[in-house]
Amino acid sequence: MSQRSERRGIHVDQSELLCKKGCGYYGNAAWQGLCSKCWRDEYQKARQRQIQDDWALAEKLQREEEAAYVSSHSSSQTQPPQSHSQHSLATFSKFEEKKTNEKTRKVTTVKKFFSPSSRTAPKKESHEAKTPSPSITRQSSIETDRVSRDFVEFLKTLHKPGREIHKHSRAFIDSMGNKKQDLSAEELSECVQDFYQGMSDRLLNHFKGSSEKVDRVMDQVEKYIMTRLYKSVFCPETSDDEKKDLATQHRIRALHWVTIQMLCVPVEEEIPEVSDSVVKAITDIIEMDSKRVPRDKLACITSCSKHIFNAIRVTKNEPASADDFLPTLIYIVLKANPPRLQSNIQYITRFCNPSRLMTGEDGYYFTNLCCAVAFIEKLDAQSLNLSPEDFERYMSGQASPRRQDDPAGWPQSGSRVNPVLTQIQHNLSVLSSLEKRQQQVIEGAQSLEAELTEWQESVAREVQEILERYPLDIKPRASAIDAENVENDRLPPPLQPQVFAG
Amino acid sequence: MSETYDFLFKFLVIGNAGTGKSCLLHQFIEKRFKDDSNHTIGVEFGSKIISVVNKFVKLQIWDTAGQERFRSVTRSYYRGAAGALLVYDITSRETYNALTNWLTDARMLASQNIVIILCGNKKDLDADREVTFLEASRFAQENELMFLETSALTGENVEEAFVQCARKILNKIESGELDPERMGSGIQYGDAALRQLRSPRRAQAESIQECGC
């Protein structure tokens, strides 16, 4: 249609000067033989068509982008720009315009191109990218949301600098999200440390020498950033942290036989208050893994260390020294066997604000923990003042599954740390005691039975001996008559009665 | 933590076990010996602000484990230390003989610029002395150390040891030998120092960040 009108315009222009619409006014070559009014009407129609074409193109690109994201095919991502450029060329070739009109049309095209996509996209797209790439909405965890809200609330108190900090922090997190798959753990660490350094310098300029405020802001920044990045930077797949975790875990488990005496630990666990401090110290260091922010992990280590110092102080009744503290910390680590110990240490080393690690209380206790872990890894017979034979026997003997089932193989010094283990050991002890007592009763009964039998036999035997020694001869008795005769022989003759006549 | 100071120095207390390292620390922080502190809330981590040549310096003092079996794993204590107290027991020649090893570790693991003061502790037990003042003084001179005999029991020369060490560090900063801007120097600016530095708008040397390993 437009082509036909163009031809007709050119042809008529040579012979007539009137508007081709036939409205009676004079036409103009610049408006293709139309008068200004008719030209404006014609332009409106073309613009409407352009808008519809742009809309259709945008929707097509949207679907292609989403399909590309779902299937994660990189090749399909290159298609949209090509389609876009081809379509633009086709669109622009429809019209012959002056430069000013061409510029206006391009601006309109770009604006219209982005406005439809903004309706469907869940978030605002960055205008730097010509091709809109809708991001797949991630379900962030409740904790991450809360930390983000807390961070925003904190920054509101700072007004304009707060907005700057928030912008920089978000930009950093986005850039880290893009880089994480390509960078090694050390490179990630350098990115984070560089960000801390830059942010700290900027804050120092703004707050003009108030390092306390700077520290407080940096703590919040660290909390926000590391909560968001934790999942991707803790124990990253590019590193061997997980392997080290397992090695350390096995090592500590193999050293379960190490006693307080071997380490020269000045802690008396029989005292209830001391035992309580030991339990709390173990709980603290196990809890370290549940924290996300490096500062919170350090707080667990510091709390653990303070409970250790309390245990030593109560035992010795004097302030503790580092000579006492380090062996006790080693003992606590051996008893606790904290989960993912190496990963936590590496995470703190890589991503904590460095000013807190080099100096300060948290840095001191963290350094001691690193010393304790290094000592456990290098532990040998000499370290424990044992002979190599004893050391090997303990290391290999305890590992034997047969020995572990045998109650006799249970460690002599009962562990007062775990109440369940304590109960098991107590029960085993009671059962063992009962077994002994029952054995004694059975033996007593058997002894008594034997004794009774022996007594009967001995009595019978004695009587028999006496009878044999003194035989009893019983002479046959004489008849009764003979008995009387015997008596008559000795008696005088009976008196005869005398008769008296008077 | 809210006190104002010009500089923050990280200090170490090193030496054999049983030489009185923690007693020196407690005496300096709390002005008392351990026997007198039955009912004191212990200050495990040493930190104190002192005044040295018109400047306020915050000393962060790291007590270290001195047992021989821990020597190979306690090297990370030294990272970023500006000063150190090297302690031996004047009644124990064994602790004096071990000083060379401690000195080698400190020079190698901290930095060449670490300021070390030799402390012969337990001066109050002079009757049991096994190491003479002259002998130790000569050792200190040969190794470019400052030297003091101290008593954690009586408090004699305890604060003086820390103050002398801090003063020498400040002198090194002023003479340019020590650059506080270096991350590993063990020195940090406090609030007052930063305020003083910013106002003249002096150009600062570019910060060189050392590896933390």
**A62 CB burial (10 A radius; 0-12, 13-18, 19+):** middle
Q: CA-to-CA distance for A323 and A307, rounded, in angstroms?
A: 16
- Tokens (6 digits) for B24: 């020196």
For the cut 60, the answer to whether the pLDDT of residue B112 exceeds it is: yes
- In this complex, which of A209, A359, A372 lies closest to B195 when CB atoms are compared? A209
Nearest chain A alpha carbon to B26: A319
Contact across the interface for B70 and A375, Cβ inside 8 Å: yes
Q: CA-to-CA distance for B123 and B27, rounded, in angstroms?
A: 14
B chain contacts of residue A331, beta-carbon cutoff 8 Å:
none
Q: CA-to-CA distance for A157 and A146, rounded, in angstroms?
A: 18
Task: Among 1.10.246.120, 1.10.3720.10, 3.40.50.620, 3.40.50.720, name the CATH number for the domain at A134-233.
Answer: 1.10.246.120
For the cut 50, the answer to whether the pLDDT of residue A409 exceeds it is: no
Q: CA-to-CA distance for B47 and B87, rounded, in angstroms?
A: 19
β pairing state of B187-189 and B7-15:
antiparallel
A364 at the B interface (CB within 8 A)?
A: yes
Closest CA to A233 of A350, A366, A345, A355: A350
What share of chain A has pLDDT > 90, as a percent?
A: 16
Q: CA-to-CA distance for A335 and A76, rounded, in angstroms?
A: 56
Place of tokens 């437009």: A2
- The letter for the amino acid at B117 is I
Look at residue A330 in the predicted model and tell me its pLDDT: 95
Q: Which residues are CB-contacts of A491 (< 8 A; sequence separation ≥ 6)?
A: none
Domains of chain B are 5-196 (3.40.50.300)
Q: CA-to-CA distance for B6 and A189, rounded, in angstroms?
A: 30
CA of B200 to nearest chain A CA: how many angstroms apart?
13
Q: pLDDT tens digits for A342-357? A: 999 989 988 988 877 7
Q: pLDDT tens digits for A263-318? A: 989 988 889 989 989 999 999 999 899 997 997 999 999 999 989 988 997 998 87
| A134-233 shares its CATH topology with A243-396 | no
| C-beta of residue A411 within 8 angstroms of C-beta of residue A421 | no
What share of chain A has pLDDT > 70, as a percent?
A: 65
CATH H superfamily, domain A243-396: VPS9 domain (1.20.1050.80)
Q: Which secondary structure element, helix H or strand E, spans residue A360, and what is its range?
A: none
Q: CA-to-CA distance for A30 and B181, rounded, in angstroms?
A: 71
CA of B158 to nearest chain A CA: how many angstroms apart?
17
- Tokens (6 digits) for B81: 């230390």
| C-beta of residue B102 within 8 angstroms of C-beta of residue B32 | no
- Tokens (6 digits) for B211: 């590896």
For the cut 70, the answer to whether the pLDDT of residue B193 exceeds it is: no
CA of B22 to nearest chain A CA: how many angstroms apart?
5
A chain contacts of residue B69, beta-carbon cutoff 8 Å:
375, 382-383
Closest CA to A366 of A298, A300, A295: A298
- In this complex, which of A317, A349, A371 lies closest to B73 when CB atoms are compared? A371
A316 at the B interface (CB within 8 A)?
A: no
Nearest chain A alpha carbon to B46: A361
A chain contacts of residue B25, beta-carbon cutoff 8 Å:
321
How far lies B124's CA from each of B19, B157, B192, in Å?
A: 13, 12, 40
Q: pLDDT tens digits for A227-277? A: 878 878 888 877 888 888 989 988 997 998 888 888 989 988 889 989 989
For the cut 60, the answer to whether the pLDDT of residue B118 exceeds it is: yes
Q: Please report the ipTM that was assigned to this predicted complex.
A: 0.82
Sequence ranges of the domains in chain A? 36-74+81-116, 134-233, 243-396, 418-453
A318 at the B interface (CB within 8 A)?
A: yes
Task: Show the 3-state SS of A238-249.
Answer: CCCHHHHHHHHH
- Tokens (6 digits) for A247: 């090695």
B167-205 burial, b at 16+ Cβ within 10 Å, e below that, comes to bbbbebbeeeebebebbbbbbbbbbebbeeeeeeeeeee
Look at residue A389 in the predicted model and tell me its pLDDT: 80
Name the band, by pLDDT with cuts 50, 70 and 90, for residue A475: low
Q: pLDDT tens digits for A439-463? A: 889 989 989 889 888 888 899 988 8
Look at residue B166 in the predicted model and tell me its pLDDT: 94
For the cut 90, the answer to whether the pLDDT of residue B49 exceeds it is: no
A358 at the B interface (CB within 8 A)?
A: yes
Nearest chain B alpha carbon to A204: B194
- In this complex, which of A204, A357, A371 lies closest to B70 when CB atoms are compared? A371
Contact across the interface for A358 and B45, Cβ inside 8 Å: no
